[in-house]
Amino acid sequence: MKKVGVAILGLGVVGGGTYRILTEHREFYQATQAIDINIESVLEPNGKKLKELGVPKELIAHNIAEVVCDPDVNLVVECIGGVEAAREYVLDVLYSGKTVVTSNKELIAKYYHELERTAKRHNAGLYFEASCVGGVPILRTLLDGVQSNRITSMMGIINGTTNYILTKMTEEGASYGEALREAQRLGYAEADPDADVEGFDAAYKLSVLSSLAFHTKVPYTKVLREGITDVAAEDIERGKALGYRLKMLAIAKQSETGVEVRVHPAFIKKEHPLASVSGSNNAVFLTGDSVGDLMLYGKGAGDLPTGSAIVSDILYAASRSEPRYSTFKNNANPDKDIKFVTDFASAYYMRLSVTDKTGVLSKIAAIFGKNNISILELLQTPENDGATVVIVTHETHEAAVKNAVTKLNASEIAKVEAVLRVVS
């Protein structure tokens, strides 16, 4: 039976869940995997957390040097969060030749190239299944499930906080502020929610996912990112009436024209599998050239779901004779031959306030026509001194829509109140 000595850095939500799983399932892994995982060391400054989990005093480390120098530790789990301190700790561990498992998506998105280079030099492993989509085994699927395919597209709900907020707004008619406060009360959103609601969290994850799916470096700085703070309940309701549901989507595509990566709120047809992913749940919809469409669904966060992904990496690392590394040139910058698409194609939802004048719609249509935008659906609702017009376009291009919006806002006939993308 193979023996693996593990150290855990940080006993927060994820680290605590990992500790629980490893202590409660040790005999199960011995029986089913022929692997004996023993927690040798825990680095956590908060005595209350150590006491709550019942960590024996002899396992408590006081600094990273104790962990790195412990000959009984083969693998280190990083769950301290943040970036700079975590980066230094992980580098110290990798320099010592010990394998690292981490749930830190920002760390991987920003420093994957540096960490993997260090891991290779010292024959150490670096695994991070838990960094993307919590307990959903999306990285393992990309690496070991659909590796026979060229992945042409990937679309997902990969941030539970924003999905909870939009679900609350969609199903209960709550305003953004009301839904955010409820998410904070339940612990889904932080006191400072910007990382989630402004799309940073999803952008980091999409950088990691698309790099692995497309076998090329996709820096997080190349991800178009828009948040949900300006989403109005009015538009969610109007979208529902048209048969759409609003979701915060992470979208990645690979084609002959290049790589397209974006994170933003978007309408999706209510019949699409992603439309029914509610609350804080996550899902990723993949398309491979051979397998076709696949969807993975589950809990995107939480102590035990994310801890499950960490332990999966521990078992995976323990079962390999050699560490596994990326399939592409993992540098700080993307390969010079890779093109990133910014003027991507999409359909669009627009809400306009228009004046009560003859010929307004024909003038709007003329501006659209000059920008090669055709109208799929149009709804007009009379208001006191004008009307609200909702338009859904056929697929067009980002640059064309931006130009049309500028022309409309400069005119005396209409003001564009909202623009949201529509995913087919």
Q: What's the sign of the alpha-carbon dihedral 67, 68, 73, 75?
A: positive
Q: Which tokens belong to 390?
A: 């909702």
Q: Which of 98, 205, 247, 253 is catalytic?
A: 205
CA distances to 156, 158, 207, 244 from 277, rounded to whole Å, are 10, 11, 22, 13
Tell me how far apart the alpha carbons of residues 235 and 241 are, in angstroms, rounded to a whole number.
10
Rounded to 5°, the CA angle 160-163-79 comes to 10
With contact defined as beta carbons under 8 Å apart, do 376 and 393 qualify? yes
Phi, psi of 272 (to 5 degrees): -70, 140
Confirm whether 299 is a catalytic residue: no
With contact defined as beta carbons under 8 Å apart, do 261 and 267 qualify? no
Scanning the structure block, which residue is given the tokens 């699927």? Answer: 141
Tell me how far apart the alpha carbons of residues 393 and 400 are, in angstroms, rounded to a whole number.
12
Scanning the structure block, which residue is given the tokens 């307004």? Answer: 360
Tell me how far apart the alpha carbons of residues 42 and 61 are, in angstroms, rounded to a whole number.
6
Q: How many Å is the Cα radius of gyration of the chain?
A: 24
The packing angle between helices 176-185 and 160-172, to 10°, is 130
Q: Which tokens belong to 182?
A: 């409820």
Distance of CA 316 to the CA centre of its chain: 23
- Residue 130: which of 18, 284, 268, 257 has the closest Cα? 18
Catalytic residue annotation: 205
